[in-house]
Structure 1
Amino acid sequence: MAENSDLKVGWLVSNLKTNDFEELFNTELASSRMRAGVCISGCQKADITVYPLNFRQADHNPNLVFMAKYVPDSNTGQYLDDSGKRWAFWLKKIKKLHSKKGKLILDYTDNHFVNPGIVGDFYRKIKPMVHALVLPSDRMKSNVAASWDKETYVIPEPVEVDFIEPGKRQLDVSTALWFGHITNLGWLLEFIQTEIHKAPPRRLIILVNNNPVDAVKQAAKNAPKGMEISLAKWTVDTMRKASKISHYSIIPSNKDDPRKSGVSPGRLLTSLAMGLPVIASPLDSYMPFKEYFSLIGTDEGLNLMKNPLGRE
């Protein structure tokens, strides 16, 4: 690709406050941060023309467009193209690209083709104009097989933190850490009302985008008595700091959910890289690493929750 001087790349990315590439590496959307950001960096190193994000100027004329996760509206007014504008803005650019025989490649980290609602509607509308999908896992490739018969490429997410040696954390106040996008929060809220009762930590740290105070408060009513829940906004820096005062990471999910079951092992590998023992659901992309984490709902997982550092 680097030899193709005619190649001009554009990226469509949601929830940005600016059109600057640097913002990608701080966004809460992992699919933008660890996928779009890495791809753009690689293109730039290969001397491939990459237009500013969302290629807004009249002279921005890409012939290859990558589309990150479509988010219709943050409902906060803090991002570009909110208030319902993003649908028309992106669709106009995609139609123009298609009319010029350009290629549209979706970075497809959730299986939206089969999901109801406005996000699924957008993906189904642009589907005839899509050239290929970039997927985070082999399981996602299997998930989309019934609804997609064109090109696919499997590219997992990188680990975004430096590796940290497991530390000698004091166990006076046992602390569990959960971090992730708000679309994954529901499984955690269910977990703290059910499974976590078998061996509750003294404290649970939740790092998430947005600020779902009401949802967390509602779930906390059915949480183990005496368990302190701390809620904070996710950033790479807060995640690193939280990992240093946590004893293990929990990643509850649903391996049978066709939208999420094909996710990459990103959160698992990030937790391990931060030196934390992990208790997680058996997602397909996690299982190649089954020697290095414990499964939720097993005796091993329960023992890890009771004694995360393996002390007698």
Structure 2
Amino acid sequence: MLHLHYLTPCSPEDDLTTLARSNLASVRLRAAPVVRISRALGWRVTFGEVISENPSIVLIGKIGSQSIEVRQKLWLEEIQRIKQNSQIFLDYTDHHLSFNSPMTSFYEAAIQLVDRCIVPSASMASLLMKFWKGPISIIEDPIEIECLAPKEMSKKPITLLWFGHSTNIDFLIKFIGSRFLEGDRIRFIVLSNEVGLNHFASSNLSSKANIEFNLALWSLNNITEAARIADMCIIPSDLNDSKKMGASSNRLITALALGLPTAADNLPSYQEFAKYYCSLQGNDFRNILNDPTKYGPRVSEAQIKLIPRFRMNKIEQDWKNFLLNSVATS
């Protein structure tokens, strides 16, 4: 029987349900599909920070910054211990090799030990090629919600939705402070983790517009309920920030699945889908802000043509094909 171990900060006592409900997107969107499809193949599957025995495949998930010095030492020792008898794959979802972060030294060392890398976007693959000359496979992030139909009418004042990790909050703060005009009346729903919400609430935010904020913790239930209220979604970023250049398209695809006309900065992984959203640069943003419903047909088309590509069953099939091909060519 083939044996896959997913190297992750999760506890070995956790079950698949715990992985699928994790607050960490790297666990929920990357680890859970791999564990689920590997078990469906009849493989033995283990996960956690200690590698059990000598697996056929070890898949390195996102290490995270918590207790990084201790975790880095443990993970590298575990990888080196089993390398002679196992295939080692790295799921590389954040481009820590391009800037100095607490996790950079781990990835600099780990990438020397792996046989193949997996990334969530073509843009990340292109970036990684500068640091890794071995094979790279692209497996995108799945979406987790059912489609909601675009609204036929928008309310006044307009309600905007923003959702994201705390690392993206500063982009939102900067955007609010610079892109709205005097006379704009806006309601804003902001969904993030506790760190992000606290940072947003304590920021010295100023805007010419009259804005009413509603802050809440991100969850699948909250994002769905917020989408039923919101008229549109915004995803501001920084096109000069190297940390964002390899980001996946997941937030954009999720916003479209939620039925929301969306205005976003043109991150590399978004550009393939440019016809389905409005750029935050230029006059288009004011147009969508004035009447989001005019962009509803774009959302409907995206739900038909794009969303099936990102469904969980499709992404699990991609992981299945990748794993079976890896075994066949080993």
Shorter-chain TM-score tier:
0.7 to 0.9
State the secondary structure of the residue aligned to 1:275: coil
Q: Which whole-Å deviations, capped at 9, do the CAs of 1:30-87 have from their partners, x for residues lacking one?
A: 2321122112211111112111x21648x554231112222121xxxxxxxx586423
Matching residue of 2:232: 248
Q: Which whole-Å deviations, capped at 9, do the CAs of 1:158-212 have from their partners, x for residues lacking one?
A: 2211111113455133211111122222211221121244785522111112333
Residue 17 of structure 1 and its aligned partner are, at CA, apart by: 9.8
Cα distance in 1 between the residues matched to 2:20 and 2:224: 15
User: Are residue 133 (structure 1) and residue 127 (structure 2) matched?
Assistant: no
Q: Which whole-Å deviations, capped at 9, do the CAs of 1:137-169 have from their partners, x for residues lacking one?
A: 111111122111111001111221111111345
Please point out which of 62, 65, 70 is paired with 1:72: 65
User: Are residue 96 (structure 1) and residue 81 (structure 2) matched?
Assistant: yes
Structure 1 runs of 4+ aligned residues shifted over 6 Å read none
Residue 220 of structure 1 and its aligned partner are, at CA, apart by: 5.1
User: Are residue 121 (structure 1) and residue 105 (structure 2) matched?
Assistant: yes
Matching residue of 2:308: none
User: Are residue 25 (structure 1) and residue 30 (structure 2) matched?
Assistant: no
Matching residue of 1:79: none
Cα distance in 2 between the residues matched to 1:125 and 1:176: 42
Please point out which of 35, 39, 48 is paired with 1:54: 48
TM normalised by structure 1 equals: 0.86
Which is further off, 275-284 or 259-268?
259-268
Matching residue of 2:319: none
The letter for the 2-side match of 1:34 is L
Is the contact made by 1:29 and 1:181 (CA closer than 8 Å) also made in structure 2?
Answer: no
Residues 216/189 of structure 1: CA separation in 2 closer, same or farther (3 Å cut): same
State the secondary structure of the residue aligned to 1:263: coil
Cα distance in 1 between the residues matched to 2:190 and 2:13: 27
Number of corresponding residues? 295
The letter for the 2-side match of 1:54 is G
Cα distance in 2 between the residues matched to 1:167 and 1:115: 41
State the secondary structure of the residue aligned to 1:129: coil
Cα distance in 2 between the residues matched to 1:41 and 1:199: 51
Q: Which runs of 5+ in 1 are unaligned?
A: 74-81
Matching residue of 2:315: none
Q: Which whole-Å deviations, capped at 9, do the CAs of 1:271-301 have from their partners, x for residues lacking one?
A: 1111000000111221221111100022122
State the secondary structure of the residue aligned to 2:111: helix
Matching residue of 1:303: 287
Cα distance in 1 between the residues matched to 2:255 and 2:216: 17
Residues 220/123 of structure 1: CA separation in 2 closer, same or farther (3 Å cut): same
Which is further off, 226-235 or 144-153?
226-235
Is the contact made by 2:183 and 2:209 (CA closer than 8 Å) also made in structure 1?
Answer: no
Residues 40/214 of structure 1: CA separation in 2 closer, same or farther (3 Å cut): closer
User: Are residue 191 (structure 1) and residue 175 (structure 2) matched?
Assistant: yes
User: Are residue 142 (structure 1) and residue 136 (structure 2) matched?
Assistant: no
Is the contact made by 2:183 and 2:210 (CA closer than 8 Å) also made in structure 1?
Answer: no
Which is further off, 232-241 or 165-174?
165-174
TM normalised by structure 2 equals: 0.81
Matching residue of 1:78: none
Residues 158/213 of structure 1: CA separation in 2 closer, same or farther (3 Å cut): closer
Aligned-residue RMSD, C-alpha: 2.4
Is the contact made by 2:54 and 2:85 (CA closer than 8 Å) also made in structure 1?
Answer: no
Which is further off, 7-16 or 231-240?
7-16
Matching residue of 1:87: 72
Matching residue of 1:261: 245
- The share of aligned pairs that are identical, in percent, is 28
Is the contact made by 2:169 and 2:196 (CA closer than 8 Å) also made in structure 1?
Answer: no
Q: Which whole-Å deviations, capped at 9, do the CAs of 1:227-264 have from their partners, x for residues lacking one?
A: 12222221111111111111111111133433321222
